[in-house]
Amino acid sequence: MTDALQTAHDFFDRYAHALLARDEKAVAELYGVPSLILFPGQAIAVSETRQTAEFFASSWDQYDGVDTVDKRLTVLAEAPGSLWVDVTWSYRGAPRERFCYQLVEGPAGHRIAVLTPLEL
């Protein structure tokens, strides 16, 4: 396994653990500030960790009953201090979500700088 792929696996293991624990503060700490969330027709500039925590706190209901998750990762590109990772999240027996994450390295480790949904 390459260093970039190992870094991505380690990061998304922590991310999945925080998601499954429904710990919006832990999830929010894995996002950089500033960061950018790009959805079709909507771009959300994140300027405070609180924004991310509030978003996740309001979204837990859609994952009721989900207590395990599988992830398939592909490192799309890497540059000094940055990784682009395609992650497919599977739960309830099937792939459900797919995102491209740009991770940037900082003093506290990697953080999500840009999140973009992809088609399954």
List all residues 6 or more positions away from 42 whose beta carbon is below 8 Å from its beta carbon.
none
CATH tag for 3-117 (out of 3.40.718.10, 1.10.645.10, 3.40.50.720, 3.10.450.50): 3.10.450.50
| Confidence (pTM) | 0.94
Tens digits of residue pLDDT in 36-45: 999 889 999 9
Query: Could you state, in order of their start, the residue ranges of all structural domains in the chain?
Result: 3-117
Tens digits of residue pLDDT in 99-111: 999 999 999 999 9
Mean pLDDT for 46-71 is 95
CA 75 vs. chain centroid, Å, equals: 13
Tens digits of residue pLDDT in 66-93: 999 999 999 999 999 999 999 999 999 9
**For residue 37, what pLDDT is reported?**
93
